């Protein structure tokens, strides 16, 4: 037990906070809270307060290339294998990817590894699964970026295309995948460098929506928000926008899996509105 509590107060910058409040038409208290979070310029404040996820502002050329590769595999009418991770980020990412691919008319196979039986990431047994399913595309979610040897074996033993979507640090040398989408890539804008895999998949699906009207983006936004919160990434920049917009959708959940989870958690809509 702490005998004495010591409050550490932020330095007040009344002139700066008043000017920020007037310019942005916000409360001086909100303006001071922004300063407390080291948000000191007008552009930083506008970006922080922006509530709408920037749907098409993330690596457009790469997203277009990913979609082209996915579409080419769908046109072959061969299965696409999605390999996720056992944590919430991995599961929500897998749910989003499977839903998206199915909506596009793909034949989809997926696997969520068992934490204790399979361990984290890929193992060499995945090659047999790919061969058995006759897949033309193999997508890893929230794993794969560190599996240099396993990816090399897949490329050696099969003719499958490999896409890695992951947010973990990229090793040197990187895996020999056909395409990689990773928020830790050097050209990633600062505001997007903390995207978890659910956020990355959401960005890909958002782009695909611009090309195919069969995608209902609201379904994916809520899952992206859950994955982002559960992965305990920084709630700034695009992460904050995804979570803020996504959690609003909790009031109108239609996904049966999420409804079951909310019931199990004794979720209370009124209490949630108060806390948010």
Pick from 94-98, 104-108, 138-142, 186-190: least confident: 186-190
Predicted TM-score (pTM) of the model is 0.88
User: Is 247 part of a structural domain of the chain?
Assistant: yes
User: Is 31 part of a structural domain of the chain?
Assistant: no
Which structural domain, as residue segments, surrounds residue 262?
A: 60-275
Total number of domains constituting the chain? 1
Place 2 in a pLDDT band, splitting at 50, 70 and 90. Answer: low
Span 154-163, average pLDDT: 97
Place 54 in a pLDDT band, splitting at 50, 70 and 90. Answer: low
Pick from 50-54, 106-110, 121-125, 222-226: least confident: 50-54
- Residue 155 makes CB contacts below 8 A (sequence gap 6+) with 162, 176
Between residues 44 and 170, the one the model is more confident about? 170
Secondary structure E strands in the chain: 80-83, 108-111, 137-141, 161-166, 179-182
- What's the chain's average pLDDT? 90
- The CB-based long-range contact list for 100-105 (8 Å cut-off, 24+ gap) reads 100/201, 100/204, 100/205, 100/208, 100/215, 100/220, 101/70, 101/74, 103/212, 103/214, 103/215, 104/70, 104/71, 104/74, 104/208, 104/212, 104/214, 104/215, 105/74
Place 13 in a pLDDT band, splitting at 50, 70 and 90. Answer: confident
According to DSSP, residue 189 is labeled -
User: Is 270 part of a structural domain of the chain?
Assistant: yes
User: Is 18 part of a structural domain of the chain?
Assistant: no
How far is Cα of residue 15 from the mean position of the Cα atoms in its chain?
A: 38
Q: Which CATH number do you get for residue 175?
A: 3.90.1640.30
User: Is 11 part of a structural domain of the chain?
Assistant: no
Per residue in 115-158, pLDDT tens? 888 778 888 889 999 999 999 999 999 999 999 999 999 999 99
User: Is 19 part of a structural domain of the chain?
Assistant: no
Give residue 124's pLDDT.
83
User: Is 241 part of a structural domain of the chain?
Assistant: yes
Place 177 in a pLDDT band, splitting at 50, 70 and 90. Answer: very high
Give residue 37's pLDDT.
86
Per residue in 208-219, pLDDT tens? 999 999 998 988
User: Is 52 part of a structural domain of the chain?
Assistant: no
């Amino acid at each position: 037990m702490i005998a004495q509590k010591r409050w550490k107060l932020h330095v007040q910058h009344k002139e700066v906070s008043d000017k920020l409040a007037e310019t942005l038409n916000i409360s001086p208290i909100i303006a001071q809270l922004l300063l407390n979070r080291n948000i000191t310029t007008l552009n930083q404040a506008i970006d922080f307060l922006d509530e709408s996820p920037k749907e098409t502002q993330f690596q457009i050329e790469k997203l277009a290339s990913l979609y082209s590769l996915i579409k080419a595999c769908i046109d072959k009418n061969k299965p696409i294998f999605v390999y996720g991770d056992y944590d919430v980020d991995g599961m929500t990412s897998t749910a989003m990817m499977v839903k998206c691919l199915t909506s596009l008319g793909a034949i989809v196979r997926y696997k969520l590894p068992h934490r204790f039986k399979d361990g984290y990431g890929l193992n060499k047994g995945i090659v047999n699964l790919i061969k058995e399913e006759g897949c033309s595309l193999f997508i890893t979610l929230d794993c794969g970026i560190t599996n240099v040897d396993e990816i090399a074996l897949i490329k050696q033993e099969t003719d499958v295309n490999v896409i890695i979507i992951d947010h973990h640090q990229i090793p040197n040398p990187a895996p020999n995948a056909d395409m990689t989408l990773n928020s830790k890539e050097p050209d990633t804008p600062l505001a997007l460098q903390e995207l978890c895999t659910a956020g990355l998949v959401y960005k890909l699906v958002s782009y695909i929506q611009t090309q195919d009207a069969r995608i209902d983006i609201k379904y994916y936004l809520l899952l992206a928000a859950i994955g982002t919160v559960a992965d305990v990434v920084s709630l700034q920049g695009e992460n904050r926008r995804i979570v803020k917009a996504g959690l609003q959708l909790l009031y109108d959940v239609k996904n049966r899996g999420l409804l079951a989870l909310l019931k199990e958690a004794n979720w209370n809509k009124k209490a949630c509105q108060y806390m948010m």
